[in-house]
Amino acid sequence: MARALDARTAAALMLALAAATIAAAWAFELIGGYIPCKLCLQERYPYYAALPVLLAAVAPVSASLRRLLIAVAGLIFVAGFALGAYHAGVEWGWWPGPSDCGVGGSGEAATAEDLLRQLEGIRVVSCSEASWRFPEGWGLSFAGWNAALSAALVAIAAWAVLRPQGSSSVSQ
């Protein structure tokens, strides 16, 4: 059975995957109680940048503009892959992370008592320690899964942009 899979469908798939990924990150944070580190928060930037681009790509626009928007989203997710791979490497100890990762601050304290109160509420989250891995123990961390999902989004974008213009179906 052949099923139409065009650039608009690819953009919609990318939009759904990207939205689900960022929603899952928020859910792990809000429901699961995971606190993101500095690098985790930076890994979200490509999603925030790509979502409106992908939304525009699924809108009724010309085929050439749609392909351009998908290409832009693909390039954004190349950066997302790099951020995720870098962070995963930091977690595995392959290279050092940023020196300020894991240091929290909540403003200046007027008195020593204010400073002590602020310190009680700070939970330091290190960029070099994976807070979760799947499969448990040896699998990919959040950063690793982000790199894998970003790579998949890049692959979908590359397929949509590089396939021949007249090709609109694939065999299943």
Measured in Å, how far apart are the chain's first and last C-alpha atoms?
A: 6
User: Domains plus CATH for the chain?
Assistant: 2-171 (1.20.1550)
Dist. CA 169–CA 166, nearest whole Å = 9
Tell me the per-residue pLDDT of 99-147, one tens digit each, with 9 for 90 and over.
Answer: 777 544 445 656 777 666 665 655 556 776 767 666 676 678 888 899 9
pTM, two decimal places: 0.78
Could you tell me which residue, 96 or 80, shows the higher pLDDT? 80
- The answer for residues whose C-beta is within 8 angstroms of residue 134's C-beta and 6 or more apart is 140, 145
